[in-house]
């Protein structure tokens, strides 16, 4: 069987495919595996209760149930949901948006596929454009979404070493010089995998840079504000007509609903919706139906701020303390956790590299993600990418603690201690 270049591109191995395969196998084949690898959110009891209650009410209302189950909604997504969300974003975040600025996607991952290929790839006259990632490490799921090669460009970040075996990446604005081949700038905020949160001043600078070059700034808010608000620092929800904010219901504890949301100026929303119609016909309705019920009751932001944020803030603090204890005396540092649900560990000069460490940990029943695939668009060699590891602290407390103890033990062995 001869398959196309498309098949080679999308049917072969890739970081995100490996990650999801590990995740699937860990759940089905090795149920005892300590899962610190994937992006599954934790279980927040108050949130789960509320979702069940609101979904039951939707199912008990024949008109709402039919709207959720019995119809294809319009290509941009359910009108009622988009109106309710626009109202909340206007009133709570001060964004000048209406329903015409909002489109739904089947998970934000698929929104990125469309958006990146709208702004980068092949252009008239044989020109090519890329998505500029001002800060790597960046989300592993971006890496292979391009329909052609050379989709991303990135520069090394500046590294600030902090007390207490912490460190922080910063955008190296001195190096960041978009040229005519930049089609958009994109950041995840908070950043997966590091838990870094770009400050308001950094976002303002990126916004100005994007505007100056006539390209949009895409902010991936999968963990961000206004929801799910997995943030441990004071952060403003940024949007204007040159920003594309991509939100998701997944990290609220609802990845099974596969609902992403694009907030952008109308011409971008329209182009996205046309492409998404070809790919998906329409989006799933369950996520928008549940989110509309939460918005109608004024519960979405309260849930994020009062339950989701503290849940992850506490888990981050406990995981940080435990991991810090384990790495004391080793040449390792943890990225300052400012949001999301990961600790990013930098093991300087680790013998054999972090991929070998990941494999040894897997043998010992702990699943983490090695760092090397989190640097999309970084062309120059950098040993740092083989010295890092991402671990999720979203799962059950005891198992996270047990996993961190094994990681500590394996690190001491690796460094010959
Ligand atoms: C930074 C980031 N963006 C986007 C996504 C895609 O999420 P979903 O497709 O579930 O909305 C993820 C998933 O983990 C993520 O970590």
Lowest average pLDDT, out of 23-37, 87-101, 397-411, goes to 23-37
Q: Which residue in the block uniquely carries the two structure tokens 């040159």?
A: 242
Whether residue 140 is found in the same domain as residue 267: yes
pLDDT recorded at residue 153: 96
- Tell me what the mean pLDDT of segment 151-166 comes to: 96
Does residue 222 have its Cβ closer than 6 Å to ligand 1?
yes
Question: Which residue's C-alpha comes closest to atom 3 of ligand 1?
Answer: 222
pLDDT recorded at residue 417: 66
Whether residue 260 is found in the same domain as residue 403: no
Whether residue 266 is found in the same domain as residue 136: yes
pLDDT tens digits, residue range 352-363?
999 999 999 999
Whether residue 280 is found in the same domain as residue 332: no
**Span from the CA of 412 to the centroid of ligand 1 (angstroms):** 33
Whether residue 94 is found in the same domain as residue 202: yes
Question: Residue 329 maps to which CATH number?
Answer: 3.90.1150.10
Does residue 221 have its Cβ closer than 6 Å to ligand 1?
no
263 pLDDT higher than 80: yes
Does residue 194 have its Cβ closer than 6 Å to ligand 1?
no
**Span from the CA of 392 to the centroid of ligand 1 (angstroms):** 14
68 lies in some domain: no
Indicate the number of domains in the chain.
2
56 lies in some domain: no
Does residue 101 have its Cβ closer than 6 Å to ligand 1?
no
Lowest average pLDDT, out of 52-61, 138-147, 267-276, 380-389, goes to 138-147
- Tell me what the mean pLDDT of segment 299-327 comes to: 98
- Tell me what the mean pLDDT of segment 152-172 comes to: 96
Mean pLDDT of the chain: 95
Whether residue 118 is found in the same domain as residue 163: yes
69 lies in some domain: no
pLDDT recorded at residue 155: 85
Q: Which long-range contacts (CB under 8 A, 24 or more apart) does 29-35 make?
A: 30/365, 32/365, 33/362, 33/365, 33/366, 33/367, 34/365, 34/366, 34/367, 34/395, 34/399, 34/400, 34/402, 34/403, 34/406, 35/367, 35/392, 35/395, 35/399
pLDDT recorded at residue 11: 82
Whether residue 382 is found in the same domain as residue 236: no
Residues 6+ apart with CB under 8 A from 208: none
Whether residue 295 is found in the same domain as residue 334: no
399 pLDDT higher than 80: yes
Q: Which residue has the higher pLDDT, 372 or 15?
A: 372
pLDDT tens digits, residue range 317-348?
999 999 999 999 999 999 999 999 999 999 99
- Tell me what the mean pLDDT of segment 403-411 comes to: 98
Helix (H, G, I), strand (E, B) or coil at 261: strand
Residues 6+ apart with CB under 8 A from 394: 40, 41, 42, 312, 315, 341
pLDDT recorded at residue 5: 85
Does residue 260 have its Cβ closer than 6 Å to ligand 1?
yes
Whether residue 260 is found in the same domain as residue 372: no
Whether residue 192 is found in the same domain as residue 292: yes
Does residue 40 have its Cβ closer than 6 Å to ligand 1?
no
19 pLDDT higher than 80: no
- Tell me what the mean pLDDT of segment 168-197 comes to: 96
pLDDT recorded at residue 239: 98
pLDDT recorded at residue 32: 87
Mutate to test the pocket of ligand 1, among 35, 41, 107, 109 (most ligand atoms within 8 A of CB): 109
Percent of the chain having pLDDT more than 90?
88
- Tell me what the mean pLDDT of segment 290-294 comes to: 98
| Residue 168 belongs to domain spanning | 74-300
**Span from the CA of 325 to the centroid of ligand 1 (angstroms):** 30
Lowest average pLDDT, out of 31-35, 247-251, 343-347, goes to 31-35
Whether residue 83 is found in the same domain as residue 36: no
pLDDT tens digits, residue range 128-140?
999 999 999 999 9
356-373 core/surface letters (b: 16 or more CB in 10 A; e: else): ebbeebbeeebbbbbbbb
pLDDT recorded at residue 105: 98
Whether residue 94 is found in the same domain as residue 37: no
Lowest average pLDDT, out of 59-63, 176-180, 216-220, 251-255, goes to 176-180
pLDDT recorded at residue 17: 77
Does residue 139 have its Cβ closer than 6 Å to ligand 1?
yes
29 lies in some domain: yes
259 lies in some domain: yes
pLDDT recorded at residue 376: 94
């Amino acid at each position: 069987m001869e398959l196309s270049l498309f098949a080679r591109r999308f049917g072969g191995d890739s970081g995100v495919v490996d990650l999801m395969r590990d995740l699937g196998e860990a759940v089905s084949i090795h149920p005892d595996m300590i899962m610190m690898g994937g992006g599954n959110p934790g279980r927040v009891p108050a949130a789960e209760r509320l979702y069940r209650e609101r979904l039951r009410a939707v199912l008990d209302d024949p008109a709402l149930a039919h709207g959720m189950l019995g119809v294809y909604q319009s290509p941009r997504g359910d009108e009622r949901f988009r109106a309710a969300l626009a109202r909340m974003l206007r009133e709570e975040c001060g964004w000048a948006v209406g329903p015409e600025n909002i489109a739904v996607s089947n998970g934000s991952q698929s929104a990125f596929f469309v958006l990146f290929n709208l702004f980068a790839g092949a252009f008239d006259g044989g020109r090519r454009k890329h998505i500029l990632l001002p800060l790597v490490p960046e989300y592993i799921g971006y890496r292979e979404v391009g329909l052609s090669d050379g989709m991303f460009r990135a520069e090394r970040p500046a590294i600030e070493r902090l007390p207490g075996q912490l460190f922080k990446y910063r955008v190296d604005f001195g190096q960041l010089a978009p040229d005519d081949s930049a089609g958009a700038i994109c950041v995840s905020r908070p950043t997966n995998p590091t838990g870094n949160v770009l400050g308001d001043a950094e976002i303002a600078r990126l916004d100005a840079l994007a505007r100056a070059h006539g390209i949009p700034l895409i902010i991936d808010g999968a963990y961000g504000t206004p929801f799910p608000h997995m943030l441990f620092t004071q952060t403003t929800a940024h949007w204007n007509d040159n920003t594309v904010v991509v939100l998701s219901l997944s990290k609220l504890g609802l990845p099974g609903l596969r609902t992403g949301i694009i907030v952008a100026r109308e011409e971008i929303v329209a182009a996205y919706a046309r492409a998404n119609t070809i790919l998906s016909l329409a989006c799933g309705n369950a996520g928008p139906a549940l989110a509309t019920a939460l918005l109608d009751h004024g519960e979405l932001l309260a849930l994020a701020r009062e339950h989701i944020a503290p849940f992850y803030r506490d888990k981050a603090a406990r995981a940080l303390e435990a991991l810090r204890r384990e790495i004391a005396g080793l040449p390792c540092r943890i990225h300052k956790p400012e949001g999301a649900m990961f600790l990013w560990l930098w093991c300087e000069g680790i013998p054999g590299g972090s991929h070998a460490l990941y494999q040894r940990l897997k043998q010992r029943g702990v699943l983490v993600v090695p760092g090397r695939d989190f640097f999309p668009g970084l062309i120059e060699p950098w040993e740092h990418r083989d010295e890092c590891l991402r671990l999720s602290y979203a799962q059950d407390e005891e198992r996270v603690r047990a996993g961190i103890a094994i990681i500590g033990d394996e690190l001491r062995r690796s460094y010959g201690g």
